[in-house]
Chains A and B, each alone.
Chain A
Amino acid sequence: MHSTKTLTMKKLFRPYLTAFLLGALLISTSSCGDDDDPDPIKEEENITSMTLTLEPVATDKGIQTATATFTAGSKPTLSLVPNTQYNATITFNDKIEDEIRTEAEDHELFFDAPENVLVVQKILPDDFDNNDRPVGLQTRMLSGNTGSTGSLKITLKHQPGLKTDESDVTIGETDIEATFTVNVQ
Chain B
Amino acid sequence: MLKLEDVLKTKTLFLTLALLAWQAPALRAQSLPGPVPEDAEQDCGLTLSGKVLDHDTREPLIGATIYLPELDRATMSDEYGNYHFHQVCRGAYTLQVKYVGYEEEQFAVRLSASLARDLPLHADARLLRTVEVTGEHLRAQAQTQQSISGRELEQTRGLALAETLKGIAGVTTLQTGPTISKPVIHGLHSNRVLLLNNGVRQEGQQWGAEHAPEIDPFIASEMKVIKGAAGVRYGADAIGGVVLVEPKALPTTPGVRGEVYLLGSTNNRQMATSATVEGNFEKLPPLSWRLQGTLRKAGNAKTPDYYLENTGLREQNFSAALGYDKETYGAELFYSRFSTELGVLRESHIGNVQDLMYAIERGRPSNAGNAEFTYAIDRPYQDVQHDLFKAKGFWQLGEAGKLEFVYGWQRNLRQEYDMRRRVSQAPTLQLTLNTHTTEVTFEHKPLGNVTGLVGISTIYQKNTYRYSDFLPYFTGTTAGIFATETWKKDRLQLEAGLRYDYKHLQVKKLENNRELIKPEYAFNNFSGTLAAMYDVGYHLTFGLSATSAWRAPGANELFSEGVHHSAATYESGNPDLKSEQAYNLEFSVDYFSNPRLNGTLSLYHNYIRDYIYLAPQPEPVLTIRGAFPAFAYTQADATLSGVDLSWDFKLATGLVLDSKTSLLYARNLDTNDYLIYMPANRFDNSLRYEFSSGDGGKLTDAYLSVGGVYVARQNRAPEKTEQDFAPAPEGYFLLQAEAGTTIHLGKQPIEVGITGNNLLNTVYRDYLNKQRYYADELGRMLLLRVRVPFDFSNSKK
A45 to chain B, nearest CB (A): 5
Residues of A within 8 A of B354 (CB): 155, 174, 177
Give the total of A residues in contact with B, Cβ under 8 Å.
55
Q: A24-B17, A28-B407 are in contact. Are A48 and B624 (CB under 8 A)?
A: yes
Partner of B13, one of A27, A34, A36, A38: A27
Least CB distance from B562 to A in Å reads 11
Given the known inter-chain contacts A16-B21, A24-B407, please indicate yes or no for A162 contacting B367, CB distance below 8 A.
Answer: yes
Complex CA–CA separation, A27 to B510 (angstroms): 29
In this assembly, does A131 line the interface, its C-beta being within 8 Å of a C-beta of chain B? no
B residues less than 8 Å from A176 (CB atoms)? 624-625
Complex contact B464–A13 (CB within 8 A): no
Out of B24, B438, B462, name the residue touching A13 (CB < 8 Å). Answer: B24
Q: Is the CB of B513 within 8 A of A177?
A: no
Minimum distance in angstroms from B476 CB to a CB of chain A: 11
* Residues of chain A with a CB closer than 8 A to B23's CB: 16
Q: Is the CB of A13 within 8 A of B25?
A: yes
Of the listed residues A20, A45, A47, A99, the one surrounded by the most CB atoms of chain B closer than 10 A to its CB is A20
Asked if residues A41 and B468 are in contact (CB atoms below 8 Å), the reply is: yes
B351 at the interface (CB under 8 A from A): yes
Which residues of B lie under 8 Å from residue A73 when comparing CB positions? Answer: 622-623
Q: What is the distance, in angstroms, from A112's C-beta to the closest C-beta of chain B?
A: 11
Instruction: Please judge, given known A-B contacts A17-B24, A99-B421, whether A175 and B625 are in contact too, CB under 8 Å.
Output: yes
Residues of chain A from 36 to 94 with CB closer than 8 A to chain B in the complex: 36-38, 40-41, 43-49, 71-73
**C-alpha spacing A160/B378, complex, angstroms:** 12
A130 at the interface (CB under 8 A from B): no
Complex contact A36–B395 (CB within 8 A): no
Residues on the B chain within 8 Å of A99, using CB? 421-422
Q: CA separation between A17 and B397, bound complex, in Å?
A: 12
Q: Would A38 and B351 count as touching, CB distance under 8 A?
A: no
In the complex, whether B626 has a CB less than 8 A from a CB of chain A is: yes
Q: Which residue of A lies closest to B626 (CB)?
A: A177
A-facing residues in B617-667 (Cβ within 8 Å): 622-626
Question: Which of B14, B391, B421 has the largest number of chain A CB atoms within 10 A?
Answer: B421
- Choose from A20, A29, A47 the contact partner of B460 (Cβ within 8 Å): A29
Cβ of A95 within 8 Å of any chain B Cβ, yes or no, is no
Q: From B420, which residue of chain A is reached at the shortest CB distance?
A: A45
A20 touching B510, Cβ below 8 Å:
no
Taking the closest CB of chain B, its distance from the CB of A33, in whole angstroms, is 9
Interface members, chain B 464-500 (any A CB < 8 Å):
464-465, 467-469, 472-473, 475
Inter-chain CA distance A37–B421, complex, in Å, is 30
Contact of B510 among A40, A162, A171, A173 (CB under 8 A): A40
A contact residues around B436 at 8 Å (CB): 27-29, 31
> How near does chain B come to A140, taking the closest CB pair, in angstroms?
25
Whole-angstrom CA separation of A36 from B508 in the bound complex: 10
Majority secondary structure, A binding face: mixed
Evaluate contact between B352 and A177: CB separation under 8 angstroms: yes
- A47 touching B21 by the CB < 8 A rule? no
Stretch at the interface among B84-92, B93-101, B355-363, B519-527: B355-363
Residues of B within 8 A of A25 (CB): 407, 438, 458
- List the A side residues contacting B351 at CB < 8 Å: 157-158, 172-175, 177
Is A103 on the interface with B (CB-CB < 8 A)?
Answer: yes
A38 to B432, CA, bound (A): 13
B509: Cβ under 8 A from any A Cβ: yes
Identify which of A6, A19, A37, A46 contacts B398 (C-beta below 8 A). Answer: A6
- Across the interface, A41 reaches (CB within 8 A) one of B366, B458, B513, namely B513
- Determine the distance from Cα of A177 to Cα of B14 in the docked complex, in whole angstroms: 56
Report whether A8 and B28 are in contact in the complex, using a CB–CB cutoff of 8 Å.
yes
A13 to B324: give the CA distance in the assembly, Å: 13
Neighbouring A residues of B13 by C-beta, 8 Å: 23, 27
Tell me which residues across on chain A come within 8 A of B420, comparing CB atoms. Answer: 45
Q: Which residue of A lies closest to B440 (CB)?
A: A21
A13 cross-chain contacts in B, Cβ below 8 A: 24-25, 28, 329, 395
Structural contact, A20 and B28, CB atoms closer than 8 A: no
Q: Given the complex of chains A and B, what is the CA–CA distance between A161 and B309 in angstroms?
A: 12
In the bound complex, residues from chain B placing their C-beta under 8 Å from that of A172 are 351, 355, 366
A20 and B18: CB pair below 8 A? yes
Q: How far is the CA of A38 from the CA of B355 in the complex (A)?
A: 33
Q: How far is the CB of A48 from chain B (nearest CB, A)?
A: 6
Given contacts A5-B32, A45-B421, contact A24 B625 (CB under 8 A): no
Q: Which chain B residue lies CB-closest to A36?
A: B464
Instruction: Identify which of residues 340-397 in chain B touch chain A, using a CB-to-CB cut-off of 8 Å.
Output: 349-352, 354-355, 358, 361-362, 366-367, 391, 393, 395
Residues of A within 8 A of B367 (CB): 161-162
Would B355 and A173 count as touching, CB distance under 8 A?
yes
Residues in chain B near residue A23, CB distance under 8 A: 13-14, 17-18
A81 to chain B, nearest CB (A): 29
* B18 near A37: Cβ-Cβ < 8 Å: no
**Which chain B residue has the least Cβ–Cβ distance from A50?**
B624
CA distance A13 to B516 in the complex (A): 50
Taking the nearest CB of chain B, how far is it from the CB of A130, in angstroms?
Answer: 18
A-B contact pairs, 18 of them (CB 8 A): A9-B329, A13-B395, A20-B18, A21-B405, A24-B391, A31-B460, A38-B508, A40-B514, A41-B513, A48-B624, A73-B623, A167-B366, A169-B358, A173-B349, A173-B350, A174-B354, A176-B624, A177-B351
Q: Which 3 A-B pairs have the closest CB atoms?
A: A174-B351, A177-B626, A23-B17
Seen from chain A, the residues whose Cβ lies within 8 Å of a Cβ on chain B are 5-6, 8-9, 12-13, 16-17, 19-21, 23-25, 27-29, 31-32, 34, 36-38, 40-41, 43-49, 71-73, 96, 99-100, 103, 155, 157-158, 160-162, 167, 169-177
